[in-house]
Amino acid sequence: MIDRKTIDQVYQATDIVDVVSDFVSLRKAGVNYKGLCPFHDEKTPSFVVSPARGTCHCFGCGKGGTAINFLMELNNMTYPEAIRWLARKYGIEVIETGFDDKANAERKHREELLALNQWADEWFQQTLQDTPEGQGIGLNYLRSRNFRDDIIRKFQLGYCPASGYGLGDAARKNHMSEDNLVETGLCIRANNGKLRDRFFGRVIFPVHNYLGKVVAFGGRILQKKDNVGKYLNSPESPIYYKSSELYGIYFAKQAIQRQDCCYLVEGYTDVISMHQCGIENVVASSGTALTHDQIRLIKKFTNNLTVLYDGDSAGIKASMRGIDMLLEHGLNIKVLLLPDGDDPDSFARKHTAEEYVDYINQHQVDFIRFKTDLLLHDAGDDVRARASVINNIADSIARIDDTITRSLYIAECATLTGAREQDIIETVNSTRNRMKLEKIADRPAPNPTNEESETHAPTQKGAEKQSAGAVANAEANLMKFVIRYGEKIIGDTEDEAGNTHPLTFVEYVSEAMSNDDLTFTQPLFTTIVQQLLEDVRNREQRANGQSSIVNGQWSILNGQSSMVFLLTHPDDAIRNYALSQATDSGSTIGVNDDSILDHLYENAEKLIADLALAVVSDKITELDHKIKSGTLTPEDIIESTITLSRYKEAQIRLKQR
């Protein structure tokens, strides 16, 4: 857990315009700023950033929120990742609680390795740009590949000198740990104990994770040598798992989101050349078969994937298993076979982005059709070979969970292969049953203790389904005020000793509901009120029992509002519900409406009365139906009628109140 004080410091330091400007070009528009929405394609700016409220909102797609919500949505960060990103940006130390000494040591070690890789990345770039060897060999090679200087800088390409000791010597001069140099794979320890650079004499391609951290490097040799591979990559380490990374994902993620499509290629230069020609929604598997972790990474940003192949049929067939895995994850997959003699790199150097995209759109085909055509072509007229092809295709179709999509593919497979549709259905169903049994066999035994203790706060949509009608509306109206004005002072209250204390809106709501024996029907609302009450008490404690009022609210904690507290809360359900209330454009409640603030006590009384009235009205309806149902005994009818009369009296009093 990140310490609450750290979260408060981050929020206070964060400038929403500053953060959004890192990703969106903004221009002043009155008191706000406007720009093109990063979440969808548009030509007219509809993305508005409000410095006063500390929020952003797209009037086209509806996405936005605080700086934290913006980062989480745009970069698919978790809440802690967004807090850490902002903390790094504003130079705030992140204090975490709940870690034991071992976990803290591991976290610190990973941070050291990432810092070392960042230093090495900068050293490689400087060596490429500023040394005679780097310019004459490394930069000359990259320019011979027609890479522009801006693209070389964008992807942070570098060079490692051929001497074999340049990086290691520089690292030691900068007091870098030799053990860390070996662990990240930047250096190799020889038998005599001396460190040697792993990537000497190679052009360097840094590998960034989706948050932009350099986790590994790839090096391309420039002079051909026997028994030496063209590319050399970092070994796995505590910060790099090859099966979990995709080259270029950091530079592609925004374009993938905007265009709702990802292009998958094989190598570093394929990605770089496509970026240079103007196509940015592209990543590379770096020559390895796709893994489940890589597929999940793609799914963070889109469900639509186009795999780009050159004309190597052997390579295509070898990658088929990886594409079957894509189907399991529910991706919509298309395949593009480039013209003979071209790969994504060379094709990008011959065409503009518009020409490239047009070619993709015109020639890409559905994966199942592509796979069927490819395998049937090889099978020819051999009956056994064709039967094997049909079984192979059925195996791919069986991995698709969506029933309608699966049915359409079965029908298409029958048409393409000439097989009976019923036979394919039976084969697909048999394969799906086998896959289910395999998953059950591989599933770990459940932990009853964990399952029983785990609780899930309802989402806003799920919470609304639990309660309907007048009570739900009354609760929602009350919570809108609690979220927006919870910390505001609405009057004074006396303790048992006769001392007067300021009373906040949320405290009044809690006490009034308790006095009227009211409870929320939605657990999320109860949790929000409890969290706000705890926060108010924490503020008093931090002030050593001394409170002061500034502009109608607690001055402790830099005047942080209840809305800010909830919008930065670590619980996803709380944060999302608060965001829905903060950005509710249909609401008649103004966030800075002076008339609302001037009559908060009256509003609080009315909201509690409305909730009580709704509860009583629901009880009256329930009892009335029960009495008229004909299922009660005479004694029960008398008792229910008396209770109904009391509720109706209460209803009259509440209406008067």
Instruction: Tell me the pLDDT tens digit for each residue of 60-77.
Output: 888 888 898 898 888 878
Determine contact, residues 142/203, Cβ cutoff 8 Å. yes
Question: Is residue 634 scored above 50 in pLDDT?
Answer: yes
* Confidence at residue 181, expressed as pLDDT on a 0 to 100 scale: 95
For residues 159 and 203, give the distance between their C-alpha atoms in angstroms, rounded to a whole number: 5
Among residues 126, 238, 230, the alpha carbon closest in space to that of 174 is found at 126
- What are the tokens at 441? 């066999």
**Of 134-143, 367-376, 500-509, 539-548, minimum mean pLDDT range:** 539-548
Question: Is residue 542 scored above 70 in pLDDT?
Answer: no
Torsion sign over Cα 245, 250, 254, 255? negative
Over residues 502-517, the pLDDT tens digits come to 888 888 888 888 887 8
Question: Is residue 250 scored above 50 in pLDDT?
Answer: yes
For residues 88 and 77, give the distance between their C-alpha atoms in angstroms, rounded to a whole number: 15
Rounded average pLDDT over 248-267 = 91
* Confidence at residue 456, expressed as pLDDT on a 0 to 100 scale: 39
* Confidence at residue 314, expressed as pLDDT on a 0 to 100 scale: 57
For residues 592 and 594, give the distance between their C-alpha atoms in angstroms, rounded to a whole number: 6
* Confidence at residue 439, expressed as pLDDT on a 0 to 100 scale: 66
Residue appearing with tokens 């972790």:
293
Question: Is residue 312 scored above 50 in pLDDT?
Answer: yes
Rounded average pLDDT over 571-578 = 83
For residues 474 and 491, give the distance between their C-alpha atoms in angstroms, rounded to a whole number: 23
Rounded average pLDDT over 128-137 = 95
> CATH top-level class for 249-442?
alpha beta
Residue appearing with tokens 């204090």:
95
* Confidence at residue 147, expressed as pLDDT on a 0 to 100 scale: 95
Residue 388 CB neighbours (<10 A): 13
DSSP 94: P
Residue 655 CB neighbours (<10 A): 11
- What are the tokens at 226? 């026997």
Helices (H) and strands (E) in the chain, counts: 30, 20
Backbone angles phi, psi at 286, to 5 degrees: 60, 40
* Confidence at residue 78, expressed as pLDDT on a 0 to 100 scale: 82
Among 146-160, 232-246, 403-417, the range with the most confident prediction by mean pLDDT is 146-160
Q: One fold for both 4-89 and 107-239? A: no
**Of 25-29, 306-310, 494-498, 553-557, minimum mean pLDDT range:** 553-557
* Confidence at residue 574, expressed as pLDDT on a 0 to 100 scale: 86
- What are the tokens at 329? 């994850």
* Confidence at residue 593, expressed as pLDDT on a 0 to 100 scale: 55
Domain positions in the chain are: 4-89, 107-239, 249-442, 460-615
If one compares 287 and 155, the residue with the highest pLDDT of the two is 155
For residues 142 and 146, give the distance between their C-alpha atoms in angstroms, rounded to a whole number: 7
Pairing of strands 500-504, 47-50: unpaired
Over residues 4-24, the pLDDT tens digits come to 778 888 888 889 999 999 888
**Of 77-86, 90-99, 157-166, 260-269, minimum mean pLDDT range:** 90-99
If one compares 434 and 280, the residue with the highest pLDDT of the two is 280
Determine contact, residues 78/1, Cβ cutoff 8 Å. no
If one compares 127 and 222, the residue with the highest pLDDT of the two is 127
The mean predicted confidence, pLDDT, of the chain is: 82
* Confidence at residue 446, expressed as pLDDT on a 0 to 100 scale: 46
What is the number of residues in the chain? 657
Question: Is residue 530 scored above 80 in pLDDT?
Answer: yes
Rounded average pLDDT over 212-218 = 94
Question: Is residue 101 scored above 80 in pLDDT?
Answer: no
For residues 350 and 342, give the distance between their C-alpha atoms in angstroms, rounded to a whole number: 10
DSSP 443: S
* Confidence at residue 584, expressed as pLDDT on a 0 to 100 scale: 55
Rounded average pLDDT over 160-174 = 93
Over residues 451-479, the pLDDT tens digits come to 333 333 444 444 334 344 778 888 888 88
Question: Is residue 271 scored above 90 in pLDDT?
Answer: yes
When pLDDT is cut at 50, 70 and 90, the band that residue 392 belongs to is confident
Question: Is residue 549 scored above 70 in pLDDT?
Answer: no
Rounded average pLDDT over 380-384 = 84
Helix (H, G, I), strand (E, B), or coil: what is residue 79?
helix
When pLDDT is cut at 50, 70 and 90, the band that residue 648 belongs to is confident
For residues 305 and 295, give the distance between their C-alpha atoms in angstroms, rounded to a whole number: 10
When pLDDT is cut at 50, 70 and 90, the band that residue 322 belongs to is low
* Beta strand ranges found along 6-61 (DSSP E): 27-29, 32-35, 47-50, 55-58
When pLDDT is cut at 50, 70 and 90, the band that residue 102 belongs to is confident
Torsion sign over Cα 475, 476, 477, 483? positive
For residues 47 and 25, give the distance between their C-alpha atoms in angstroms, rounded to a whole number: 10
Over residues 168-208, the pLDDT tens digits come to 999 999 999 999 999 999 999 988 778 999 999 999 999 99
Rounded average pLDDT over 565-586 = 75
Helix (H, G, I), strand (E, B), or coil: what is residue 549?
strand
For residues 391 and 371, give the distance between their C-alpha atoms in angstroms, rounded to a whole number: 12
For residues 483 and 576, give the distance between their C-alpha atoms in angstroms, rounded to a whole number: 12
CATH number of 4-89: 3.90.580.10
Question: Is residue 427 scored above 80 in pLDDT?
Answer: yes
If one compares 548 and 563, the residue with the highest pLDDT of the two is 563
User: Phi-psi region for residue 413, left (φ > 0), alpha (ψ -120 to 50) or beta?
Assistant: alpha
H or E segment at 581? Answer: helix 572-582
Torsion sign over Cα 616, 618, 622, 627? positive
What helix, strand, coil percent values describe the chain, rounded to 5? 55, 15, 30
Nearest-Å Rg of the Cα atoms of the chain is: 31
> CATH top-level class for 107-239?
alpha beta
